[in-house]
Amino acid sequence: MTGWNRTSFTGSGITHECYEKGAGPGVVLLPEVPGITPEVLALAEHLVGEGFTVVVPSLYGTPGRTETTGYALPVMARLCVAAEFRAFATNARRPVADYVRALARDLAGRTPGAGVGVIGMCFSGGFALAAAVDDTVLASVLSQPSLPLPLGAARRADPGLSADELDRVAERTTTDGLCVLGLRFSGDRLAPPERFAGLRSRLGEAFEVIELDASPGNAAGFPSNAHSVLTREVRDTPGHPTLAARTRVTEFLRDRLAQPGAPEPL
């Protein structure tokens, strides 16, 4: 975590350590399980290099620790019973979403741009959408959102936030021009297609979907269980689908957060 400014932030009665770096419009990057791994940090560094102020809250795990099965499984076990996340609940308002909204407001108040973006991945994917209830969030990115854990038809279709929160997000796509970007691999059972289909039916054209082909024999060689679009599966190879997806995320954030009349970055 060299070069990252570490602070403690409290919002809605919840406190987490946060890491911040960069200059420019603000982006809250929510880590996937098991936490701020080197791959998550690489994504954060990429966004900093693209001209954003990035804040990464340490919602779980040990910042900077490399992911292993022996590390990830105990973290996941704790998360499954934590009231902050409500991992199995449907139509649920999750306390962590209130925390993310408070963090987004704080970042928006001290960074340039029309508002902030929030990126959620895997376990935190739906938190990025729930954060968009707040007017300061102008761009929401959901990469392979996996909550509620997709056990049964109702959980597979659940968007990962309460009906009231989704109503407000849908309203904002009309009144405020809010846009949402979703990413997943075609065969990802943790981020089932029913979840994105339900969101598309509510958000319409305001919900842009990038689905990467992980079917047998796919051209990029993705395994059938490919999951982490923006971290583990990214390859720094021109034309690679995950690199193109990451580039689209950067463009999406820049377009949505730019101040009217601001010059384009060099």
Task: Count CA atoms closer than 13 A to 81's CA, side-chain side.
Answer: 4
pTM: 0.95
Q: Say if CB 137 and CB 159 are below 8 A apart.
A: no
Is the pLDDT assigned to residue 141 strictly greater than 70?
Answer: yes
Average pLDDT over residues 193-200: 97
At 247, phi and psi to the nearest 5? -65, -40
Q: What three-state secondary structure class fits 80? A: helix
Is the pLDDT assigned to residue 265 strictly greater than 50?
Answer: no
Is the pLDDT assigned to residue 20 strictly greater than 80?
Answer: yes
Neighbours of 111 (CB within 10 A): 19
Average pLDDT over residues 236-259: 94
Q: What is the percent of the chain with per-residue pLDDT over 70, rounded to a whole number?
A: 97
Q: Exposed (0-12), middle (13-18) or buried (19+): which is 259, by Cβ within 10 Å? A: exposed
Q: Say if CB 102 and CB 28 are below 8 A apart.
A: no
Q: What tens digit of pLDDT does each residue of 23-53 get?
A: 999 999 999 999 999 999 999 999 999 999 9
Task: Count CA atoms closer than 13 A to 91's CA, side-chain side.
Answer: 3
Which stretch of DSSP H or E encloses residue 240? Answer: none
Take residue 185 and report the two structure tokens written for it.
């691999």
Q: What three-state secondary structure class fits 147? A: coil
Average pLDDT over residues 139-157: 97
pLDDT band at 2 (very low <50, low <70, confident <90, very high): confident
- Cα distance between residue 222 and residue 218, in whole Å: 7
Q: What tens digit of pLDDT does each residue of 156-191 get?
A: 999 999 999 999 999 999 999 999 999 999 999 999
Which stretch of DSSP H or E encloses residue 104? Answer: helix 95-108
Exposure string of 19-54, with b = 16+ CB inside 10 Å and e = fewer, is bbbbebbbbbbbbbbbbbbebbbebbbbbbebebbb
Q: What tens digit of pLDDT does each residue of 81-102 get?
A: 999 999 999 999 999 999 999 9
pLDDT for res 196: 97
Average pLDDT over residues 140-155: 97
Cα 125 → chain centroid = 5
- Cα distance between residue 75 and residue 251, in whole Å: 33
Q: Exposed (0-12), middle (13-18) or buried (19+): which is 249, by Cβ within 10 Å? A: buried
Q: What is the percent of the chain with per-residue pLDDT over 90, rounded to a whole number?
A: 95
